[in-house]
Structure 1
Amino acid sequence: MNTHPTDRLPMDAGADARFDAAIRTRHATALAQLSPQVRAQLAQRRVAALRGEQAGARRHRLRFAVAGFAALSALALGVRLYPQEAPPAAAPASTQLANSTGGSLPLDEDPDFYAWLGSAEAPRLAME
């Protein structure tokens, strides 16, 4: 029972012409409602299409340039924020002093140093 849609309709050339005229009238009405800028753009695009130019080829190049710049910026930001290995720092002066005097602990960890700071001699020595 599959029938083609054109099999059910009678062939009427007058109906086709009326349909075509109605569509053309609606198209003309729609074009009249467009702004002059839009009509100019449509005319330019029609001329470009008739010449065989690709629509938007220039925009694609700009998009690729913007995407490349964004990728490069993201890479630069990633390199900038990536935690880098710190070079081994030289030993603090207090550690070098403790090691040179034969002490086994650095000054900031030596309990005798803190005991000396709390003694009565420390303010007097600091004044000198």
Structure 2
Amino acid sequence: MKFTFLILSLISLSLSLTAQDSEENKNLPQEKVQVPEIVTKLKVLEQVDIDGYRLTFKSVVNDGRCPEKVTCVWPGEANVMLEIFDGTDTTSKTIAIPALGFHRELFSTSEHVVFLKNLAPYPITARDNIQAYQLLLKIQPNKS
């Protein structure tokens, strides 16, 4: 009889703790799933057409980003030249891209917003002579 009572008590305690754990889990903040960014890569002298606009990656003016295997005082930046044609006018822009990249809006249309994210590849050593640069762009639907 005592043994049966002991078993029933343990089962009851176990069920109580399980219910308590599930209640505590409901109160914990839920982690949001990170949606991956879709990035468009644009090589030097390539262009992309977006809703009647044409974006051309003209050149890398200079690349002063601190290489990964070098100790620098400042992380540096790279300067790129872009050309944006809106159907009637062409605008040339020289944009400084920080070493760690950023999320800068280049232009928007009624359907899309175009952001400049970074310049790839990142230099590894001071002697790197990068020939195949790519602009990393994010083109997302316009929510307004």
Question: Which bin holds the TM-score, normalised by the shorter protein?
Answer: under 0.3
Which of the pair has the greater relative contact order for Cα pairs under 8 Å at 6+ separation? 2
Please identify which structure carries the higher strand content. Answer: 2
**Length-normalised TM-score, structure 2:** 0.25
The structure with the largest alpha-carbon Rg is 1
TM-score by length of 1: 0.27
